[in-house]
Structure formats: C-alpha cells, structure tokens
Amino acid sequence: MDIVVAPNPILRQVCEPCEVGDKGLKKLAKEMAKAMYANNGVGLAAPQVGVLKRLIVVDCDVESEKKNPIVLVNPEIVEQSEESSIEGEGCLSCPGISVPIERSLWVKVSFYDLDGNACTVEADGLWARCFQHEIDHLDGKTLFESAGPVDRLQALQDYETALASGAKPGETDVRVR
C-alpha cells in the first residue's frame, strides 16, 4: 500500500463511518499496519492509504519487538483533558517536516474492534497525541490544518522545501504516523 502524500485532496475529505463488524476491514487493517511499520510510523489512518473510511491503526510501543497494533473502527474522542502541550509532530503524509501542534495530554476514545465489539481506551503521552492526530485525519485534517496560524505558514514553507529535496514518508523529526 502506498502512502498518500499532501497536498493530495484525498487527505482533506471527511471519511465515512465503517460498517461495524464488516469482515473486509480485517484485511484493510492488516495492510495498513504493514504499511505503517514499513514506513516507521506509529499510527496510520485509512485516508492515508486512499480509503475514505473511519479506521485507524496505532502502535506507539516503539521499544517493543512485538508488533501489536491497535485497530480502532469509528473512533471518537469522548473525553479529553483541558491541559494540553505543544510538541513537534510528523506525519507519513507530510514527509520531511515536524510541526508544533497543541494536543490534550489525556484522551478517552470510544471505538469498535474488528469483531464489532464496542470498546474504550484511555491514553496519555505519545498515545494520546497519536490518537488525536489520527482522528484528525478522519475529519480531513492534516498537520497543516491542526497547527496554529503562524506555525501553519512556517510548515507550508518547510514542506515546499522538503518536497523539493525529495523527502519520503517516514522522514521527519518526530514520527507520529
């Protein structure tokens, strides 16, 4: 699976909900996880492989040898901390750049697993940041849309330079997807 790279308009679309329990999602999730690991990402959203469905794959456990991705079908942030932090984020769809983004420190996410079971997960640290980043993708938001106005201008400039120098997915300072 190839990674869709900005400014491809696919990345700006709002994705449709998945049919919960759809057997076809297992194959999609498996291929997405493969693409994520192949590009040294810690998360990937379906639109990043050209599929406009609300499905994300996340694995921030970069230390572990075992590949154990979490697949979230129709994920939704149901609670989040008011406390936030600004940190540099990368994205496989915006190769070569890192953009400061403000995110909640803690989130609670509801979702369905691949068997159609309703689940929730609570996360902080990199996991919380990654969930917020991936769910933004499902609403057509990339790093450029999630950044503040000043950082956005800088990011667009940096991105032009990065593309001109041939940056590939996975090349960034901080790898959040």
Identify the CA nearest to 133 among candidates 92, 172, 170, 169. 92
Structure tokens, 162: 């990065």
Instruction: Establish whether 160 is a catalytic residue.
Output: no
- Distances in Å between the Cα of 18 and the Cα atoms of 23, 46, 55, 70, 176 are 11, 11, 7, 16, 23
As measured in angstroms, the least distance from the Cβ of 39 to Zn ion is: 11
CA-based Rg of the chain, rounded to a whole angstrom?
Answer: 15
Q: Which of 11, 46, 91, 101 binds Zn ion (CB under 5 A)?
A: 91
Give the other-Cβ count within 10 Å of 81's Cβ: 14
Sheet order of strands, 43-45 included: 43-45, 55-58, 70-80, 106-112, 118-124
As measured in angstroms, the least distance from the Cβ of 118 to Zn ion is: 26
Give the interface size with Zn ion as a residue count (CB under 5 A): 2
The pattern of x and - marking residues 19 through 58 that bind Zn ion according to CB under 5 A reads ----------------------------------------
**Closer CB to Zn ion, residue 20 or residue 88?**
88
Show contacts with Zn ion in window 100-159 (CB under 5 A).
none
Shortest-Cβ-distance residue relative to Zn ion: 91
177 near Zn ion, judged by CB under 5 A: yes
As measured in angstroms, the least distance from the Cβ of 91 to Zn ion is: 3
Q: Which residues are catalytic?
A: 134
List interacting residues with Zn ion (CB under 5 A): 91, 177
